[in-house]
Structures are given as C-alpha cells and as structure tokens.
Amino acid sequence: MIRRRGRQVGIPGHGERGFTLIELLVSSGIMLSLGLLLMLWVTGISTMWWTSNSQATMDMQAHALACRLTTELSSATRAAGATPPNLTVAAAPNNAVPNGGGNTPITFYLPKTTVIDATGNTDWDTVPALSRQIQYQYVPTTQQLRRVQNGASLMLADHVASMRIDDNSTDGTLLTNQIRVRVTLQFTTPQRRTVTSTAVQTVRLRN
C-alpha cells in the first residue's frame, strides 16, 4: 500500500486494513493461553478419573481378598492335639508382613474332601500331614500374596502393601477360635497418585 499526496494507491480490491504484528502476537497469546487452560482442565479430569477408578478398584479387591482368606480359614481349627492339625499364627512381629523377617504369617490345614467320616466326625487328612498344609506367603519384591499348598503356589493378589493376622495370642480381645485378617492394598496411578485401601475381617474357626 503506497500513500501519495494524501490518497491511497494500492491494488484494486485490497484496500481493507490487515492485522498488525502486535495484533497477531496478542491473538496468538490468547489462543495459547486458552489451549493451555483446556489442556490443564483435561489433565485434571483425567487425573480425577484415574484416581477415583483406581480407588474403587482397590476397595473392591481388598474386600474380596479379605473375604477369600476368611472363608477358607473358617474351615480351619485351633483344637489342641495333633489331630486335627492346629492352625498356627506366627509370633509377633512375624504375624504382620512385610516386617523384614518371616513372610509366612499363618499356617493351617483343611479337612479332606469328605468332610464327615463314618463315625460322624470331621475327617482330617494327616498322613502325610503336609499334603493338606496351607500357608499364606508374602513376596516383598513383587508385593504379592500367595497361597502355597504341597509345593504348589497360587497368587491371591498383587499390590499388597501389608497384611496382618491376629489371634488371641497377639490380640487379647479375640477369642481362642477367632482370627482377624487385615490387608492393605496400594496402587500408584500413571499420574503418580497413590491410592490405598484396607479391609479388616474377623472369622470364627471351626472349633
């Protein structure tokens, strides 16, 4: 656009005023700010979704794990004598894992598949005794809880931050035939948020 003697001389049809550099920079800054705000909003929504979803999952898994353990333990026994085999809770502090020591807080036995024998009593498989021995073992390196029976290992849960088994020797408020199970699961989301869930259940043993 050329100014000459007070009037504009330019290309026909192009007499409209264009954007200046400053206007372009200002509008670009506004668009960039709006884009940044949108990104932060989407990131916040994503973080909230991951956190709430992970928390719900941990709550469900912790409750399911506690139910799984106590359901099986309800068939065990604390009766004195070699028959039936006794359930054994590790002495404190080994009844809680991880503790830097033992990672097997409890050992117990289950009846044979045929629960009632010919005399009407519970039939326990004691020969060989180890064939029915069950242990819950914690693996610190992978944060897994495993069920071990006769050399066979089954993973019950991962993301296990801690587990504690109590009987009346570690908690005087419990009866002789009661066991309390406390499990805590922990998970870190991709956004580095840590969610934790703890489930506690008390079970009455067979006798």
Both structure tokens of 166: 């109590």
Q: How confident is the model at residue 143, as a pLDDT?
A: 92
C-alpha 187/C-alpha 51 separation (Å) is 10
Q: How confident is the model at residue 100, as a pLDDT?
A: 62
pTM score of the predicted model: 0.72
Q: How confident is the model at residue 28, as a pLDDT?
A: 80
C-alpha 21/C-alpha 187 separation (Å) is 51
Q: How confident is the model at residue 142, as a pLDDT?
A: 92
HEC string of 75-104 equals: CCCCCCCCCCCCCEECCCCCCEECCCCCCC
Answer yes or no: is pLDDT of 72 > 80.
yes
Q: How confident is the model at residue 150, as a pLDDT?
A: 80
Answer yes or no: is pLDDT of 81 > 60.
no
Q: How confident is the model at residue 2, as a pLDDT?
A: 46
Answer yes or no: is pLDDT of 9 > 50.
no
Q: Is 122 exposed, middle or buried (0-12, 13-18, 19+ CB in 10 A)?
A: middle
- Residue 101: count other Cβ atoms within 10 Å of its Cβ: 10
pLDDT per position as a tens digit, 110-140 = 776 655 555 656 666 555 555 678 899 999 8
Mean pLDDT for all residues in the chain: 80
Of the two residues 86 and 181, the one the predictor is more confident about is 181
Q: How confident is the model at residue 35, as a pLDDT?
A: 79
Average pLDDT over every residue of 92-99: 87
pLDDT per position as a tens digit, 145-183 = 999 988 889 999 999 999 999 999 889 999 988 999 999
What are the residues facing 182 on neighbouring strands? 164, 200
